Amino acid sequence: MEQVSWPVGGIAPESVPPALAHACDLVGSDLAAAGVVAASGDTWWAGKSALLSGGAPAAWVVGLGDGRKFAFGFGVDLSGSDAGVVALVAEGVQTHLAGYEFVEWPRCPRHRGPMAVAVEDVAAVWACRGARCQTIPIGAWSPT
């Protein structure tokens, strides 16, 4: 699998589909706002995982690393809506952080519990798991 990488907060290579690049940009913004990724050195990586009969990718593998090695990755199906792709990337990162690094991210600013990924209308959001007191568009999370 041919892989490409780019800095979190940077511009994805042209070979990365626009919906996937946009999803990584939004999720990376929230990771940086929470201090989960460093301002420099952390990178996204992506690669085609399977091809359809016309040569188009059926899915991509995307993940994070530190610029020298890949820390983790997961599959992302690009056949859904752009909001769905954002939700898949957010959920993949959130699942890895909770399961392997024991980091609950992001936390509801009001309740301090972890927020869930949801798609509401045409946008991917972080939703309070408890009282559903608020939703925050993915890419606009702030720790305050």
Residue 38: predicted pLDDT: 64
Give pLDDT tens digits for 9-67.
Answer: 999 999 999 999 999 999 999 999 988 886 567 899 998 876 555 666 567 888 888 77
With a threshold of 0.85, does the pTM exceed it?
yes
Burial 68-103 (b: 16+ CB within 10 A, else e): eebebbeebebeeebbbbbbbbbbbbbebbeeeeee
Q: For residue range 66-115, what is the model confidence (pLDDT) as tens digits? A: 776 778 888 898 888 999 999 999 999 999 999 888 888 998 888 778 89
Domain positions in the chain are 3-103
Cis link prior to 106 (omega < 30° from 0)?
A: yes
pLDDT of residue 8: 92
Whether pLDDT at 117 is above 70: yes
**How confident is residue 119, by pLDDT bands cut at 50, 70 and 90?**
very high
pLDDT given at position 94:
94
